[in-house]
Amino acid sequence: MWAFTIHDLRPTGGLSFDLRDVLWALEPSIKGYSWLITKLDCSGDDVIEEMCKFVEEGTRDGSLGLLLGWKELNDIAFGNIHQTIDAELTGLPPGTLREDSFKNVKIAELGPPTPKTIIIRAIDSSFFEVVTTLPEHEALLRRAFRDVRVQSEW
């Protein structure tokens, strides 16, 4: 398993990329995954503001988070989100979930864990982290970003 961080910055400071760019970079190996969003703090339109509240309230009430399909996540990342501040998204390969729909997910709905699961985190608007078991993700990230660091291997 590897943890990579991405630190590409604009010349004036601030990240030069957002969640949509990370998804785009990894798309060849994660297209079709379902996405469990357990943390979401970002700026954007009214839709994304409601989603942030929904995730926060749902996880506080005992749900695992908000489940989105690949298409829904891309539509939001490319259309509704202006900047991701803090987020945690777990990518689940096809067949991991018994049901894929826009709602809060309970533990009983998750299938068996898989080694192809990926986690993408936005950390305080400072960098993104990708935790993965798939070695091809390093090459995909390095192709798309200038400052990719290996944080750990285990």
What's residue 154's pLDDT? 62
Predicted pLDDT of residue 61: 73
| Phi, psi of 127, rounded to the nearest 5 degrees | -165, 170
Contact predicate 81/44, CB 8 Å = yes
pLDDT digits (tens, 9 = 90+) for 90-132: 998 887 765 544 455 554 445 545 678 899 999 999 999 999 9
Tens of pLDDT, residue by residue over 48-99, are: 999 899 888 877 777 778 888 999 999 999 998 999 999 999 998 887 765 5
The length of the chain in residues reads 154
Domain boundaries, the chain: 2-153
pLDDT at 132: 93
What does the block give as tokens for 59?
A: 């996880």
Question: CA 110 to CA 139: how far, in whole Å?
Answer: 30
Q: Tell me what pLDDT residue 56 has.
A: 87
Q: What is the DSSP string of 133-145?
A: S-THHHHHHHHH-
Report pLDDT for 1.
83
**Helix count and strand count (H, E) for the chain:** 4, 8
Mean pLDDT of 7-30: 94
Among the listed residues 147, 152, 150, the one whose alpha carbon sits nearest the alpha carbon of residue 21: 147
Is the pLDDT confidence value at 30 over 50? yes
Token pair, residue 56, equals: 């926060």
The candidate with the shortest Cα–Cα distance to 1, out of 143, 135, 139, is 135
- Which residues on neighbouring strands pair with residue 90, listed in sequence order? 36, 119
